[in-house]
Structure 1
Amino acid sequence: MTFKSLGLSESLLETITQQNYTKPYPIQEAAIPAILRGSDVLGIAKTGSGKTAGFVLPILEWFQSKGAPRNRSIRVLVLVPTRELAVQIAVVFQTFGERLPRKVKTLAVYGGVSINPQMIGLQNVEILVATPGRLLDLLSHKALTIGETEILVLDEADKMLSMGFAEEMKDIFFLLPKKRQSILFSATLGDEIEAIHKSILRNPVKVEIEEEEQNLDLIRQTGYFVDPDRKGPLLRYLIKTREMKQVLVFVSATRTADNLVEKLSKNGIQAAAMHSGKSQGARTETLNRFKTGRLTVLVATDLVGRGIDIRFLPFVINYELPRSPKDYVHRIGRTGRAEAPGEAISLIIPEDTHHFKIIQKKMGKRVEMKESYDLDLSGY
């Protein structure tokens, strides 16, 4: 199946091609035509399944036949649990909408920063990507209205519930018009998600993408015990002494990614960061450099790491462990593909030891552990 067969216009197809999207993911094949028909959609899919483009593309297509924006009246509302996801989704809307005849203004709003610039930025916004708390703040300031919203998207709804946003979500649903199109995405389908689904969706098209089992047999896993102050030198030691030419390093925060790249670069190792703080254009260019061998080290967060698909990636290094065993498997699964062996290395500081044992137990595999204390890391 091709993107053209899904009912998207030529102008949008041109942008899709320019963004190096070759064929739709299964969730896109099912969701895009349903959303274009105006149907409600219930999508059960993990992060990295392609669901963001699955709702972004048909929504942008929908706008191509709509009239001029109504100031501060949001036509499409996307609710998300975190700032990082809000920024990422807004960037995807902006990237795919860049060359379309009908321009659509998108804005991401979230807490933890001043509300005033966001209030000013709402001028002529038609697509709002928001965390629940900040959206309610903006509504209380009468900075926008959602009484005429035509499309509602709930992304990572299960995570919003686990983060304690249930009451905020109910308050927002109450303010939305009853006549609208609703799209709900969740990694799981528990009782709470079922309750939301039954209260806001009307005869939804259900799209469930089974997660492929990751074959870990081709991946050699190694862990190094290391003190926190020796972690950076150990990383550089491994890259240089093992003569790694292409290595994906995972960290848990954007600040860590940027700091790590700075240290690697100062030590003569070509490195770049890829995270939600970077523009889509910068991320695309960085990934292309990495894929073509012009960049030795790519430092990424989990938020963008799922989208990194390289056929023969030899090394993955966990500079910091992820929170969940599933995320660990997703990370190391970037290597050991296409029947080619790969190696995953984890740097384990003392406080991570117990968590790493849990990861191994859940994964069903033991990781070979090595001491790093006798390694001479001076000069690294």
Structure 2
Amino acid sequence: MSFESLGLSHNIIKSVRKLGFLKPFLIQEQTVPVILSGKDLMGIAQTGSGKTACFVMPILDKLQNEEVKKDRNIQVLVLAPTRELVIQIDEVFRAFTDNLKREIRTMAVYGGVSINPQMKGMFGVEVLVATPGRLLDLIDNKALSISQISHLVIDEADKMFQLGFEEEMNRLFSMMPATKQTVLFSATLNDKVEEIKSRLTIDPVVVEIKQNEVDLDKITQIAYHVTAETKGPFLRYLIKEQDIKQALVFASSSRSADHLAEKLKKNNIPATAVHGKKSQGSRSGNLQDFKEGETRILVATDLIGRGIHIESLEVVINYELPRSPLDYVHRIGRTGRANESGTAITLVTDDDLPHFRVIQKKMGKRIEMKRTDGINLHGY
């Protein structure tokens, strides 16, 4: 199935191509047409399954045809439980806005930072991605209104109540209009999610995608303990000394990906970066060169990495750790496919150690940690 067959407009398809996505994920195939039709939806899918684009694409597609409203009434509200997820969702919205019929302002708001810039920047925002607590703070300060929203999205709905947001969610629900499209995404369909459906008085179309388990037994996982200063030189040493023919390297940001690719090239290692800030032609070309073996190292961010499907990729390298353990599994799942073995290498600094322990605990596997302090990195 193609993205065109989902009913998306040419404007959205252009962004899809620019991001380098070749075909929709299963969850996207089954949910995008439902959201485009205006029906309420409950999507059950694991993190890393492509679910954020499920609601981003059709909502922006519909919003671009609506009249611009320059006020403090939000049109689309996306609620998520953590600052990290809010930032990630907002990045996906921004990645899909380049080719729309008109400009659509999106904004991410969360606690732990000054509220004043968020209050000042709220005028004219149409898509707001927020944590419940900070959203209520902004509403209490008259910075915005959610009384006229046309679309409500609750991402990771199963976690919203586990993390103690129940009272805040009840307040927010009471401020929303009765008529709106509601989209819920969850990793599991538990009692609390059923309760949310009842409280919102919706009878959504339910789409459940069973998790495609990554066969961890087919992936050899190795971690190397490095310092922040030796991480780059050690990566170059590793690629050369182990004669790694081709590898997908994950970085945490577009800037980091570009910097890393440039450093590799300066050290005579053919490398290129793909991320949301690259042009469509550049991204598609770089991705194709890697798939055809023309490029030795492809440095990618998580957003773009989800669209990379290569059946016989031998090595994945985590230059920087992902935000969640599930994202880690999704990353290393790029290798060890089609009944072939693969290798996942992770570079870990002292600052990374607590998070890396959490990843191993969630995954149920202990990863061998190798020291690197005795390696001569001069010249790398």
TM-score by length of 1: 0.79
Equivalent residue letter for 1:261: L
**Residue type matched to 1:289 in 2?**
N
Residue number in structure 1 paired with 2:9: 9
For 2:273 and 2:287, locate their aligned partners in 1 and report how far apart those are by CA, in whole Å: 11
2:286 is matched with which residue? 289
- Match of 1:183? 183
What's the CA shift string for 1:151-198, capped at 9, x where partnerless?
Answer: 100112234444443332222222112222111111222333332233
What residue identity is the alignment partner of 2:142?
Answer: K
Distance 1:232 1:158, change over 3 A: farther
**Which residue number in structure 2 is paired with residue 214 of structure 1?**
214
Q: Distance in 2 between matches of 1:312 and 1:272?
A: 19
2: CA distance, partners of 1:367 / 1:98: 41
Decide whether the 8 Å contact of 1:48 with 1:306 is kept in 2.
yes
Q: Tell me which residue corresponds to 1:129.
A: 129
Task: Report how many aligned residue pairs link the two structures.
Answer: 376
Partner of 2:72: 72
Check whether the contact 2:273–2:298 (CA below 8 A) recurs between aligned residues: yes
- State the alpha-carbon separation in 2 of the partners of residues 358 and 125 from structure 1: 36
* C-alpha spacing 1:99/1:305, structure 2 compared with 1 (3 Å): closer
User: Gaps spanning 5+ residues in structure 2: where?
Assistant: none
Structure 2 residue identity aligned to 1:195: E
Aligned to 2:101: 101
Task: Specify the alignment match of 2:199 in structure 1.
Answer: 199
Please give the alpha-carbon distance, in whole angstroms, between the structure 1 residues aligned to 2:83 and 2:273: 18
Alignment partner, residue 260 of structure 2: 261
Partner of 1:88: 88
What is the distance in 2 between the residues matched to 1:376 and 1:109?
45
Match of 1:344 in 2: 344
1:145 is displaced (CA, Å) by: 0.7
Question: CA shift at 1:5, angstroms?
Answer: 3.3
Question: Is the 1:224–1:346 contact (alpha carbons within 8 Å) kept by the matching residues of 2?
Answer: yes
Structure 1 contact 290–296 (Cα < 8 Å) conserved: no
1:1-380 correspondence to structure 2 within 5 Å: 1-69=1-69, 71-200=71-200, 202-216=202-216, 218-224=218-224, 233-250=233-250, 257=256, 261=260, 264=263, 268=267, 279-281=276-278, 285=282, 289=286, 292-293=289-290, 297=297, 305-319=305-319, 326-347=326-347, 372=372, 375-380=375-380
Give ranges in structure 1 of 5+ residues lacking alignment: none
**How far does residue 144 in structure 1 lie from its aligned partner after superposition?**
1.0
Residue identity matched to 1:89 = I
For 1:137 and 1:355, locate their aligned partners in 2 and report how far apart those are by CA, in whole Å.
30
Q: Distance in 1 between matches of 2:250 and 2:16?
A: 28
The amino acid of 2:38's aligned partner reads: G
Q: CA deviation at 1:78?
A: 0.9
1:292 alignment partner AA: D
2:108/2:128 contact within 8 Å kept: yes
SS in 2 for 1:313: coil
Q: What SS does structure 1 have at the residue aligned with 2:47?
A: coil
- Once residues 144 and 357 of structure 2 are traced to their aligned partners in structure 1, the CA distance between those partners, rounded to angstroms, is 49
C-alpha contact (below 8 Å) 1:79/1:130 kept by paired residues: yes
Q: What's the CA shift for 1:146?
A: 0.6
C-alpha deviation, 1:368, in angstroms: 6.4
2:90·2:108 contact (CA, 8 Å) conserved in 1? Answer: yes
Q: Which shifted more, 124-133 or 311-320?
A: 311-320
Tell which deviates more after alignment, 100-109 or 200-209.
100-109
C-alpha change, 1:283 and 1:229, in structure 2 (3 Å) is farther
Please say which of residues 65-74 and 37-46 is displaced more in the overlay.
65-74
